[in-house]
Structure 1
Amino acid sequence: MYFQLMAQRIAVDGGQSGTRMRIDGLGEVDAGPIYTDRPLVGQLRGYLSTALADLSGPAEYELAVGISGLTPANSRPDELLAACRELGIVRVALAHDSVSAYLGSNGWNFGAVVAAGTGIVGLGVSADTVGRVDGWGYLFGDAGSAYWIGRAGIAAALRAFDGRAAATTLEALTVQHFGPLPELYVAVQSDPDRVSKVAAFAVVVAAAADDGDLVATQIIDDAADELAHTVCTAARNVAPRWPAPPRISWTGKVITGNDALRARFVERVRASIPDADVAAPLGSPLDGVARLFDAPQGHPLGREIALAAHR
């Protein structure tokens, strides 16, 4: 009860393209990306230190974090708490970003959510079970993500350049964004920000689809189908037979920012699970992060949230 009454709250949504923080007394702040091949604690502490430097006077904070790339091995809230103690952090809630994305879109309702940004992950939640689908990273998974779309667009451009596939406006667009195609693979592979830059190309692929490019349109359609398949699989994995219609939703700019992709996604979900309540997200992933401290007693998502506090 002490923390609820006295401590201010910081919510952090850490993703591969950028980090967003909501800090009591400061508002919302943007920071850099989370690199999943580097220690998470150091990155989070650095972003928090920079943000809190703008505030004057001592304060105590409870820190809620939903973060990309969180594995069971690196889910260590005690380590994060210790690293941030001098910043005034007295309590930590740490969860995979699939959990915070789910809470942002569905709240504590049962169903499934797919989060589609640079990467993707699906999460299904029933009354007693939580199950994750995909979220395997840009090397092995993330089907339908911005990275997946961007990579597919670049691959289509290279195939057209070789004469192995149909002509597409993506060829010229790839040159505009990445330079000469014979140099592209070396330049991109050596760029430390290659994941976010390839993911950013998804916007170009979507625009080409809107302009009628058939190759780009097929990529966007395939992405919608992959995302629908992921969220429906997540729903069925946790409850093959739902006692009530599951609430199925989404989050992330890949879906929210593309009307054509979203319409096809919704159509595919409704065809696959006809009795589902397919509904727009209740809020943002950052709203979901802010809910990490508020799990109802016995809710299965409570088991997915790691907590630590100074005694």
Structure 2
Amino acid sequence: MTTLLIAEHDNASLKDVTGKALTAAIQLGSPVEVLVAGENARGAAESAAKLQGVAKVLLADDPAYAHDLAEPLAALIRSLASGYDALVAPATSRFKNVMPRVAALLDVMQISEIIKVVAADTFERPIYAGNAIQTVRSRDARRVITVRTSTFAAAGEGGNAPVETIAATADPGLSSFVGERVARNNRPELASARIIVSGGRGMRSSANFTKYIEPLADKLGAGVGASRAAVDAGFAPNDWQVGQTGKVVAPDLYIAVGISGAIQHLAGMKDSKVIVAINKDADAPIFQVADYGLVADLYQAVPELTEELGKLDR
């Protein structure tokens, strides 16, 4: 049998998480085909065809898949499922919405956010906010899997897979697109950023994020993140949230500013290669996972750090 990987993309190109999920899919030991569902998504399909390890790309190009509605995509995946023994997707916000629907339609268990493929039917996944690792063996004839992509390296290019156009399935009509407001910036996305600067409740206001966090991130070419406390307080937008209920990241460098280190936040960033913490509370839990800790007033330390980085550019 074969594995079907559902691609995360913006129609024009693939998201980095697709290549990472492909690495996990390849480890299942079966040929991997990639489904690209969208509108005017030929560019993303051609990018998928170039990834090493892809046997074939299925392109479902239809207005029904233009706005990431979960129900039409779940129906499409269900219609294709009989030809595959595993259906795999990155554990992004989009597929946390889609894949449980697929599992329900197929009447199978979903295996969520795997971090290791032990065998074709056995996987490791974190539980209890990452404080324990659970080994799961599935006896279902068809496995529905999401991948915590922060633990897998992205597959490289070098492939030349054929692209096959497939027809859309009937829209279940359970939801409809009304509108969207999209926040855009020139910084790296959190899921793929090599460096992330995050702020917490200690930032006290959204104005302080703009004044202190963003200039430091710009000097480093970093993505900007936030703790749940900062997001709930309105200091930062939802798509900046790092943590168990936000985005799980593992950059080369994670700088936590004014973040106490609640378990919910640590679950989303403790796999970072190097963690730097700046907090005036010497007993803050963040220092237990930090590689480098600075006990200082962030309103003094962060501008000084930004200034010193600026000198390197001169």
Q: Is TM-score (shorter-chain normalized) higher than 0.5? A: no
Q: Give the structure with the higher percent strand.
A: 2
Q: Give the structure with the higher percent helix.
A: 1
User: TM-score, with normalisation over the residues of structure 2?
Assistant: 0.30
User: TM-score, with normalisation over the residues of structure 1?
Assistant: 0.30
